[in-house]
Amino acid sequence: MKSSSSRIQQQAQQPQARVFDWVGYLDNNPDLRQNGILTKVQALNHWNKYGKREGRTFVKQIAQASSAPNDPDANTDNSVLGIKEPVKIKPYAIYFPQFHPFPENDTNYYPGMTDMTNLELYFKENPNNPENLERPDMSVYGLNSMSEYRLDNPELVNKQVALAREYGICGFAIYYYWFSGNTITNKNKIMDACYDNFFKTEYTDFKVFYTWANENWKSSVHFGKPKTIENNYSPDNISKFCADIIPYFKHTNYLKVDNKPVLGIHHPHQIPSNKLDQIYNVLNQACIDAGFAGVYLLINNCLSNSSNQDKHKTKYNNKYHSYFIRPAHKSNSSSTFIKNNKLVYDYSRYVNQNIDIKPGRVNSIYFDFNNTARMYKPNNLKRTFRLINTTDDAYNTYINKLKTVFNKYTAPHEIYNMVLINAWNEWGEKMHIEPSIESGFKLLNLIKNINN
C-alpha cells in the first residue's frame, strides 16, 4: 500500500489540467475574430473541432484547476476560467477641421465661408430659431464670439483636446482632406492649417488619427460652384498620398494599434475595387519601410449595398477592418419621411427599431442632425434634412444598446473597443458634443458616464 506522501508525489507529477482561455485563444489566433468567432462558446467549439487538430494554442494556463470546462458560459467565475473582463468603451470623437478661412471655400461658396459663418447668419436672420439649432459656448475657451472659433489657432485646438480628455474622450478622428487634383490652389491637402496644430504639442493620454474624406468636390450641391477638387487613384497619386501622410503617422500623437498607424477611408464606395487594394498594398509597405508593422485600414461600411462595397465584402473581414458611421438614414428608409414639407428622420424610431450595432467592427453613436446651417448660404435649403424625437430616453437607449454589445463580447483589441462619436464639432449639421449655449455640457456628460 502506497503511503500518503507517495500518492501526493505521484499526483504532483501528473500533467496539470489546463483551463481553456477563450480570450487568449482569440488573441493568439487573430484570423478567428476576422471570421466572426467572437464569443466564448464559438471559441471553445472551434478549439474542440479544429484548433487542437491544427495545433493552435491558447495563451493562459491555470495550474491545478479541477477540470477544463466544456461550456465556458456555464461557469460564471471568470477568474477561475482565465477570462479577461470586457475592456471599457473607448470614445473617439469625429473632428471637423473646416472652421477657418481657406481658398477652396472662398471660391466655392463666398469669401470667409465656414459652417460657423453660416450659423451666425442663420441666428441673425432667425432670432426665434425655428430649426432649434445650437451655437458653441465660446466662454468655455475664453473667447467672446463665434467668429473667434478658428481652428487655425493652435491655442484653441489644445483647449479642445484638454476638454475632450477631461470628459473621457480618448482622441479625435480627424477628417483628412487630400486630393490628387485641385484646380483652385493646386494643393493636395486642404484644411491642413487646422489639423497640423495637432502635431505641435505632445499630448498625454490622447491620440488622433485621420479619416480620409476622399469624396470629390464637384457635381455636388454641398460644394457650391463646380470647381474641380477630386481624387484620381492612379499609381503615382496613390504613392504621393502615402508619402504625404507618413510624416503624420510618425508623430507620437498619432494613434497606432500593434505598431500600425490607424487610417479610416470615409468614402470607399468612390474608389474602384482594384484601386483600394493598391492603396492598402502601397501604404502598408510604406509603413513597413518607415519602421511600423503595417497599416490598420478602417473602411466605412455605412453604404454596404453599393457595388464597390459588395466587391470588397469578404476582404473587409480579412485585409481591411470596418467601421460604421451614423446617421445612415439612406439605409433606414422606414424612419425617414416628410413632415410639414420637410424631410425628417425619426431618431427615436431608429434607435428602438433600426439601429444596427455589431461586434467585430468599430461602431458609432450620434445624437442629432440638422444641416440647415450648412445649406443656408448659398441657399440650398430645399435640400435640408433634420431629425425629430431626439429625446433623452432615445439617447439612453442608444447608449445602453452599445453597452449590451460590449458587455456580451470581448473586443479583440483597441480598435474594436473604439466607438466613434459623430461628432465633436459638426456645427453646420447640429452634430456636436462640444458644449453649446443652448444645451451646455449635456452630451459631454453622457459620454463621460458611458462606462458607468
Q: pLDDT, tens digit, for every residue of 261-280?
A: 999 999 998 999 899 999 99
19, 80 in Cβ contact below 8 A?
yes
The pLDDT of residue 348: 93
What letters, b where the CB count within 10 A reaches 16 and e where it falls short, cover 99-136? bbebebbebbbeeebbbbbbbbebbeeeeeeebebbbb
What's the mean pLDDT in 4-10?
44
Q: What 3-state class would DSSP assign to 173?
A: strand
The pLDDT of residue 27: 77
In the block, residue with C-alpha cell 457635381 = 219
Nearest Cα to 151, choosing from 451, 450, 420, 425?
Answer: 425
> What are the structural domains of the chain?
4-81 (no CATH), 90-448 (3.20.20)
Q: pLDDT, tens digit, for every residue of 394-411?
A: 999 999 999 888 887 766
The pLDDT of residue 66: 32
Which set of grid coordinates corresponds to residue 320?
Answer: 481591411
Angle between helices 235-249 and 273-289 (to 10 degrees): 40
Which residue has better confidence, 33 or 389?
389
pTM summary value: 0.79
Which residue has better confidence, 190 or 340?
190
Interatomic CA distance for residues 157 and 165, integer angstroms: 12
233, 239 in Cβ contact below 8 A?
no
In the block, residue with C-alpha cell 473604439 = 418
Interatomic CA distance for residues 4 and 64, integer angstroms: 19
Q: pLDDT, tens digit, for every residue of 234-265?
A: 999 999 999 999 999 999 999 999 899 999 99
Which set of grid coordinates corresponds to residue 127?
Answer: 432670432
Q: What 3-state class would DSSP assign to 152?
A: coil
In this predicted structure, the answer to whether residue 221 has a pLDDT above a threshold of 70 is no
In this predicted structure, the answer to whether residue 77 has a pLDDT above a threshold of 50 is no
Interatomic CA distance for residues 299 and 163, integer angstroms: 28
What's the mean pLDDT in 320-336?
65
Q: pLDDT, tens digit, for every residue of 160-181?
A: 999 999 999 999 999 999 999 9
